Amino acid sequence: GNPLLDISVTVDQSYLDKYNKKAGEASLATEIDLPIYGEIVTFPDVVYTAGGATQNSVRGAQWMLSEQVKEEDDIGVTHYIGSIGSDENGRKLKEVAESDGMKTHYHISTIRTGCCASLIVNHERCLIADLGAANDYQHSHFESASIQSLIQHIDVFYSAGFFLTVSPQTVVEIGKFCAQHNKILAWGVAAPFIVEFFWERVKDVLPYVDYLVANETEAEALIKKLEIKEEVKQIQEQQEQKEQSQKAQQEPEQKDQSKEQREQSQKEQKEQSKEQREQSQKEQNDPQKEQKEQKEQPQKEQQEQPKTDSNRDNYFQNVMKKISELPKINNKRSRTVIFTNGSSPVQIYDNGKYYTFDVPPLSSGDIVDTNGAGDAFFGGFLSGLVLGKPLQECVRAALYTSRYILQVSGTQYKTKCNFEWI
């Protein structure tokens, strides 16, 4: 992945104005922004954390696994590969990353360590990333004897799409290794621009991917690039026509009731009509009728509200099915497709079946920071894969980890994990 040292500080609006920045935005640093990194390290409340999408996910997995897997040797449970500089920020990044229990195997670049300034104003963050050495990973590092020895002990591999902008060759080689040894390769789209501007690299990796994860905007970008939207619409139309045809075939059977059945039905209707008339007269004499109706109407509307949009589910089921069936090198494993959409249900297509998983509600007052929640989600999911847990348990772990991160400032795992595995 692309490792970054996250440097978080609280600032006032005037500091953002000084660099023409806005709360809630994220951007890459320009030459004008570079002094920020030297200034904020002098702030009294400065906090250093390990950052970068893949590194955040691996740290989340480590947190979830810390009480489950006991290390019997020096191999460790979770490992991370990326590029940092031989500078003070590189030293700090290695220190904070490994304090979570994750083992790092950084390539040391001559370029400065990548950093992300996180400027907090009224609980909102302005993120300014200087990728630096993160953009300088060398594939020769992956080919080194120490890394080649390490991967023999790894069963689950994960990389976010951002790394395709740096070393696509490394991701493909990991994919080949996984296919050859029947190990798991999970891959996250990471951002819409990855599929929009690096599509050829994405196509090179997809055949090796066993678990693909994307949020709603990333998923739509992928669907658009794959050009399967119209095809899926045609499939939906065919399914609707089939349902209408089946319904039409059932109607003659319903009309074929015997005389006795029709008479019985008419009799029951008359009795119901009589009861309804008597009930209506009774209600007309009830002075509290209007008040009761007003009270019951919202409850009735709530009961009649459908839990899911069947058309939307049908659309995504067909889309995810198409993605899962894209060409794949390792046919011993099917491709699992995972779409997330904030507080909306998680959608998963796995082994030919479509699932939705509700996201437990969390009040806005309990949400401290949304930054890194998506990375945390897949970190929890990865921990389930490492333990060989079923899909439902992997999702439960994913939702637990993302919920935890939503309630803390930054992607920090400072407290003990209390998740109870089933």
Q: How many CB atoms lie within 10 A of CB 196?
A: 13
Give me the residues paired with residue 348 across strands: 338, 355
What phi and psi values does residue 379 have, to the nearest 5 degrees? Answer: -60, -45
375 is catalytic: yes
Return the bridge partners of 157, or none. Answer: 185
Contacts of 414 (CB under 8 A, 6+ apart): 408
Any idea which residue has 């739509």 for tokens? 220
Q: Which of 6, 136, 350, 375 is catalytic?
A: 375
SS3 content of the chain, % helix, strand, coil (to 5): 50, 20, 30
Amino acid letter at 208? Y
CB 321, CB 349: distance < 8 Å: yes
Q: Tell me which residue of 131, 89, 125, 91 sits closest to 9, measured CA to CA.
A: 125
Sequence-ordered alpha helix ranges (H) in 182-339? 192-197, 199-205, 216-226, 229-255, 259-284, 289-304, 310-324
Could you tell me if 119 and 21 are in contact, meaning their C-beta atoms sit under 8 angstroms apart? yes
Tell me the HSE value of 16 on the side-chain side, using a 13 A CA sphere. Answer: 22
Q: Tell me how far apart the alpha carbons of residues 141 and 159 are, in angstroms, rounded to a whole number.
A: 16
Phi, psi (deg, nearest 5) at residue 202: -60, -45
Contact 383, 78 (CB under 8 A): no
Residue with tokens 């399967």: 228
Check residue 109 and report its DSSP letter.
E
List the structure tokens of 165: 């902008």
Indicate which residues carry an active-site annotation: 375
